[in-house]
Structure 1
Amino acid sequence: MSKYKRYERYKDSGVEWIGEIPEHWEIGRLKNSIKSCRNGIWGDEPQGDINDVACIRVVDFNRTNMEIEVNNLTIRNVPVSKQKMYLLKRGDLLIEKSGGGEKQPVGFVTIFNHDIPAVYANFIARMELEEEKVYSGFYKYVHYAMYSVRLNVKSIKQTTGIQNLDINYYFEESVIYPPLNEQKIIANFLDQKTAEIDSLIADKEKLIELLQEKRQAIITEAVTKGLNPNVKMKDSGVEWIGEIPEHWEINKLKRLSNIITGNTPPKSEEENYDDEGIPWVKPDNIQDDGTISETKERLSVIGLQKARLIPKSSAIVCCIGTVGKVGFTQEDCTTNQQINSIIFERPSIWNNKYGFYCLCSSKNEHEKYSNKVVVSILNKTQQGNILMPVPSLKEQKAIANFLDQKTAEIDDLITEIKLQIQKLKEYRQSLISEAVTGKIDVREFQNKNEVIFRNE
């Protein structure tokens, strides 16, 4: 933030999360900024009559730009006579008061910047502000800064699985009150700068998508066509594989491996689990690059006796929900019932790593074989019938080594870009906090085109 100047004189705010503030700013309770706060309404199923109205839900909160997304709104039926109490107007702030979770607690605030008739759901409260003293475009950033330091968490009451925000307690928090004209200047500054940062982040996320597509294309090309571009080809007779080298074969997965479905030892029996035990893998642990993240739960020696041990260098495939998501074990582990493990027990004809890469290319085939009811489910019998290309063992090893190198190069690039994105997000959050608490003076801001982020 060194490129932005500071105010000339400061004073101690007396509030830990705010720190010192410009001398002419004031500190007051959050409730002093609010004219009224009303909980929402859910209404009934739409009837196709004049009482049908768009209803804002928490799912419509854009947690990046702190605005409401209106592209796919839910329609509910609320009597017109009741709608008047709940109709939103441009500039209203909406706060999530019920729901949330450990990673995304309740208390997030967005602004309604639209001119469409809409009410808001019962898990949300609308804050109508004292417009003569506060500007909602500024206070959405104040709430964001508060949320970033988890001030909202102190106001959460949770007696069941649902978090509830004690609104009155939250409104007792101390916040900043700059002069109204400064609020508007700071909000305009942050609107532009965060939009610029968000655009940079979107560009980098798109680049990651392109790299992931390239990564997958390289894998599929290698496991189905081999590394010799001059080899004579033949039709495999399998749609997802296409043409293969003439000397290759096709075989069912069940004839190349042993497929084991995981399970869950009873969680009611504490002796089944041990923080120092063997990893118990769930689908969330399988990363996009096939690595397996640290598991939160591990099985004890007792729990292992009720589970199925999966040896190192096996492939694991999610077969319930996100069917076809593939990982490769770097150590002995166990899995839950959403995962089928592919244990390559015929080393004379099938290379473990080549088999993993084949599975990475067969996601669509896994989906095709699955039963789609509420969620996609693929049992091991269905999975075992998936056809795989089988080159010579020597070629399998060469392909696996080639792909190890190529995917590592791409993964390193992706990791670097993700680090850049993280730095941008941290800078964005810091910029908001510094601006709304007066650590930087942006009163002379004139929409200057500045370099937001430079790769070091």
Structure 2
Amino acid sequence: MKQYETYKESGIDWIWNFPSHWEVKKAKYIFDEIKMTGFEHETILSVSKGKGLIPRTDMEQKVVNADKNLDKFKLVTPNQFIIHLRSFQSGFEMSTISGIVSPAYTILQGGNDVNPGYFKRLFHSETFISKLASLVLSLRDGKPISFADFGELYLPLPSLKEQHLMATYLDQHVDKVDLLVEKKRAQIERLREYRQSLITESVTKGLDPDAPIKDSGVEWIGAVPAHWEVSKLKRFAHITRGTADKKTKENEIPVNLVQYTNVYYKPIQQQNDDDYLPITVTKHELEFSQVKRGDVLLTASSETSNDIGRSTVVYEDLNNHVFGSDVIRLRVPQDELELSFRKYLFDNYYFLSKLNSLTRGVTRFRFNMDDFRSLFFVIPPFQEQKEISAYLDEKTNYIASNISNITTQIDRLEEYKRSLIYEVVTGKRKVEESDIEGELYHEA
């Protein structure tokens, strides 16, 4: 790693030292605050995690309420920066498009000595974000970061040529890392899709491709092994919706509340007391809502329809746990469904997609309990359930191991990217024209 000849203390607490010839200025002498309103016909933009500033219509979670007073929204143009409400977690965003943003956002415009590409990387560096987080903690009453707050921060100011070199170098190298990460995430997605198809095929068609088949009579399931039972959920499961609330009262029994986040977060057996909300219940509520071995807990409501129907199987009694109103408990006789088979039966694509089609909501999604109870399942004989579970355990464990390995590779790439950005924007790594791939464009 090439370095500059000499360094000095920067006077910036989140950088420490940098090249001796770099300047330090307060942010208010590098950036101006821009407040241009009255452009209500421009595209409304919002900050999306991982995507930056995008049209609000492209947001994954749609905004329901219509905005009023659009004439008070602020105009933002390419190469300007946004201080948004979550900047203390993800840094400032650089706009690549024109549009209008909420009046709560602060717009920054760099002067003639600013290369936006350099400051885009600086404002996304971990050390800068940590500084913002400490700044927010010092503000009172949950105030957002204002231009006045930001303006007092000291920032490094390399020469314009150096800024351009660093921005170009990082664009080239970070793009390569991002492309690798994107490919690896696509690998994970393909593995997850394969896992889903494997489970669905196994629990609805069985492991014997030569077994006689019959029409299930259920359009969304199709043909099934002839000796399997086709049954509504309410025939083989006792279905209960949670009633416990999130309150604590004196003279009641302290327990842990299993919420929908506990169900799809990770397997129940991998969670500890810190993962649950502590509440109190009466003796009757505890008896009614207690979580026992063999119970299947399923999400009954969520902010997104895709999270509906996620399930987990309880492998041991949880005597001090009850389930909340956003969770459904399915209690099945031990001789009806093999314990491990339960987690696969309720994780098959046909069931999840059918349940998703029954889901309704705007900001909170739910389904009708009568519709849920009447959903059809195909149930193999108990011995076949055990064989299917053993087969799927082996296959899904192998898939999980592969996903874990790829995730580790992604984490290492992301760590390399963070380190590279920090080293370059703070001058720990020197960038020269010879480090740039292709011909370097010189700004006037």
1:289 is displaced (CA, Å) by: 7.3
Partner of 1:386: 375
Residues of 2 paired with 1:301 and 1:394: CA distance? Answer: 41
**What one-letter code is carried by the residue in structure 2 that aligns with 1:213?**
E
1:320 is displaced (CA, Å) by: 1.2
- 8 A Cα contact 2:81 2:93, kept in partner: yes
2:8 aligned with 1:11: yes
Residues of 1 paired with 2:426 and 2:6: CA distance? Answer: 14
Residues of 2 paired with 1:171 and 1:124: CA distance? Answer: 15
Residues of 2 paired with 1:373 and 1:128: CA distance? Answer: 37
Residues of 2 paired with 1:273 and 1:173: CA distance? Answer: 51
Question: What TM-score does the superposition give when structure 2 sets the normalisation length?
Answer: 0.83
Query: Equivalent residues in 2 for 1:9-408 (5 A)?
Result: 9-34=6-31, 36-39=32-35, 52-59=41-48, 63=50, 67-70=52-55, 72=57, 86-96=74-84, 99-100=85-86, 105=88, 108-114=91-97, 116=98, 118-131=99-112, 133-145=113-125, 149-156=129-136, 157=139, 159=141, 163-267=143-247, 269=249, 278=256, 280-287=257-264, 293-294=271-272, 296-299=275-278, 302=281, 306-307=285-286, 308-321=289-302, 322-331=307-316, 332=318, 333-344=321-332, 346-361=333-348, 362-372=351-361, 375-408=364-397
Residues of 2 paired with 1:313 and 1:405: CA distance? Answer: 21
**What one-letter code is carried by the residue in structure 1 that aligns with 2:418?**
Q
> Taking structure 1 as reference, are residues 423 and 363 closer, same or farther at Cα in structure 2, changes over 3 Å only?
same
> Taking structure 1 as reference, are residues 166 and 306 closer, same or farther at Cα in structure 2, changes over 3 Å only?
farther
Residues of 2 paired with 1:371 and 1:130: CA distance? Answer: 50
**What one-letter code is carried by the residue in structure 2 that aligns with 1:367?**
N
Residues of 2 paired with 1:348 and 1:202: CA distance? Answer: 45
Structure 1, residues 204-248: CA drift from partner, whole Å, max 9, x if none?
111111111100100011101111111111111112322111111
> Taking structure 1 as reference, are residues 207 and 288 closer, same or farther at Cα in structure 2, changes over 3 Å only?
farther
Partner of 1:417: 406
> Taking structure 1 as reference, are residues 302 and 53 closer, same or farther at Cα in structure 2, changes over 3 Å only?
closer
1:68 is displaced (CA, Å) by: 2.9
- 8 A Cα contact 1:52 1:76, kept in partner: no
Query: Equivalent residues in 2 for 1:420-431 (5 A)?
Result: 420-431=409-420
Structure 1, residues 394-428: CA drift from partner, whole Å, max 9, x if none?
11111111111111111111112122222222221
**What one-letter code is carried by the residue in structure 1 that aligns with 2:173?**
K
> Taking structure 1 as reference, are residues 72 and 385 closer, same or farther at Cα in structure 2, changes over 3 Å only?
closer
2:430 aligned with 1:441: yes
1:253 is displaced (CA, Å) by: 1.4
Question: What TM-score does the superposition give when structure 1 sets the normalisation length?
Answer: 0.81
- 8 A Cα contact 2:15 2:127, kept in partner: no
- Structure with the higher helix share, 1 or 2: 2
What runs of 5+ residues in structure 2 fail to find an aligned partner?
439-444
- 8 A Cα contact 2:359 2:367, kept in partner: yes
- 8 A Cα contact 1:12 1:21, kept in partner: yes
Could you say what secondary structure the match of 2:312 adopts? strand
Residues of 2 paired with 1:127 and 1:421: CA distance? Answer: 33
Could you say what secondary structure the match of 1:312 adopts? coil
Residues of 2 paired with 1:144 and 1:245: CA distance? Answer: 56
Instruction: Name the Cα RMSD after superposition.
Output: 3.0
Q: How many residues align?
A: 416
Could you say what secondary structure the match of 1:194 adopts? helix
What runs of 5+ residues in structure 1 fail to find an aligned partner?
44-49, 450-456
**What one-letter code is carried by the residue in structure 1 that aligns with 2:345?**
C
Could you say what secondary structure the match of 1:52 adopts? coil
Residues of 2 paired with 1:371 and 1:87: CA distance? Answer: 36
Identity of aligned residues (%): 25
- 8 A Cα contact 1:40 1:119, kept in partner: no
Structure 1, residues 31-62: CA drift from partner, whole Å, max 9, x if none?
2211x213575x7xxxxxx9622233234xx6
**What one-letter code is carried by the residue in structure 1 that aligns with 2:8?**
K
Q: Relative to structure 2, which stretch is displaced further, 213-222 or 168-177?
A: 168-177
**What one-letter code is carried by the residue in structure 2 that aligns with 1:11?**
K
